[in-house]
Structure 1
Amino acid sequence: MLRNEQREELQTAMRQTKDKRLFERYQTVFLHLEGKNNVEIAMIIQRNRATVGEYIKAYKKEGITGLRMGISTGKPHRLTIEQRAELAEIVTTKTPADVGFAPYTNWTLALLVSLVKREWAVSYSLRGMSKLLERMQFSHTRPTYTLANADPEKQKTFKEETFPALKKAIV
């Protein structure tokens, strides 16, 4: 009798859900209650036997609510919040030469990878550093060069007033 109620509950849940993965979990338990073994179920839903076993175990432990999926937190960040804040401060207020990369005046992904490795002993690939900067709301552009015929007074105003104001607006 109990098994019939469980099957009806699962059938109702399968009809109501729009989530494909949750449907798969309900279907797995339903097939188990229908008498199928884990190998047969695994072939039907195209998952491995261990996954099928986990779904059934979760159902036996907590019922239908045990089949609901939790929120995946993802892999932890390599740099702490404080380290990321310090990196942002360095990038926005200092040049590479200011922090020990003497011949360079513009930040590049390679320089930032070296800086993070040196300061916090954390390795990043160039693509990983690019993604980190994107998550930190930074954008990158190719450096532009100062023109020889440019107005020195306008350049001075830009360096001393306009550019620092732009940096503050970004952070």
Structure 2
Amino acid sequence: MGKGLQITNIHGWTVEFLQAQEKAIEKASMAKRVMTIRLLMQGYYATQVAELLHLHRETVSEYAKKFNEGGMEKLLHRKYAPGRRPYLLPEEAQEVRRMLESSTPAEEGYGCQTCWDTRILRDVIEDRFSVIMSRGGVGHMLKRWGFSYTRPTYTLKRANKAKQEAFIQQLNTLKKTPQTK
């Protein structure tokens, strides 16, 4: 074949090693990058590699450039966008987490509720930090922090504890005895 896109092999990679790397890499897009370099090292033209792997020819050239500059490390490096700036500052987030873990809305001066919910928390965030969030946004934030939604459980005020314990023991005894037909 003629002069195609050249791979400078200053890193010491062989075609066989690259082939083994392709199989070892779990992420298909990264394996495709290694396959691109392997095919170029085997003598394929960039346009042929692009057609074989369903890539744009400029993408093939970009992969070759990255590999020539920094080897496998640079080829497989992928920079992700930093993402959106959080609504709350880290100190504010810590304050909200502290409130959720150690107090109730009534203790913090927000009504007579005993359990936090997204509606109350949204109002607290708006009052204390002047940050407006939707209830869904508050829910997603809580999920990221590792909190989960649970329904409140009720205890009966006039329940007889002794009768309840006796019933549980009787139920456990019934569960242990074999059923006869």
TM-score (norm 1): 0.60
Aligned residues: 146
Question: 1:36–1:4: structure 2 CA closer, same or farther, 3 Å change rule?
Answer: closer
- Aligned with 1:35 (options 28, 31, 45): 45
Q: Any idea what the Cα deviations from partners look like across 1:66-86, whole Å, max 9, x if unmatched? A: 212358586467244423321
- Aligned with 1:9 (options 1, 11, 14): 14
Other-structure match for 2:148: 139
Secondary structure of residue in 1 paired with 2:158: coil
Other-structure match for 2:72: 64
Structure 2 alignment gaps of length 5 or more? 1-5, 161-181
- When you count helix as a share of all residues, which structure comes out higher? 1
Structure 1 alignment gaps of length 5 or more? 152-171
Question: 1:69–1:131: structure 2 CA closer, same or farther, 3 Å change rule?
Answer: same
1:83-102 superposed matches below 5 A: 83-99=92-108, 101-102=110-111
Other-structure match for 2:124: 115
Q: Which runs of 4+ in 1 moved over 6 A?
A: none
Q: Which amino acid aligns with 1:66?
A: K
- Cα distance in 1 between the residues matched to 2:132 and 2:15: 48
Other-structure match for 1:24: 32
Q: Is the 8 A contact 1:22 1:69 kept in 2?
A: no
- Cα distance in 1 between the residues matched to 2:149 and 2:103: 16
Question: 1:14–1:69: structure 2 CA closer, same or farther, 3 Å change rule?
Answer: farther
Q: Is the 8 A contact 2:126 2:132 kept in 1?
A: yes
Question: 1:12–1:114: structure 2 CA closer, same or farther, 3 Å change rule?
Answer: same
CA RMSD of aligned residues (A): 3.7
1:28 to partner: Cα distance: 1.8
Question: 1:4–1:129: structure 2 CA closer, same or farther, 3 Å change rule?
Answer: closer
1:88 to partner: Cα distance: 1.4
1:67-78 superposed matches below 5 A: 67-69=75-77, 75=83, 78=86
Q: Is the 8 A contact 1:109 1:129 kept in 2?
A: yes
Q: Is the 8 A contact 1:14 1:23 kept in 2?
A: no
1:143 to partner: Cα distance: 1.3
Structure possessing the higher radius of gyration over alpha carbons? 2
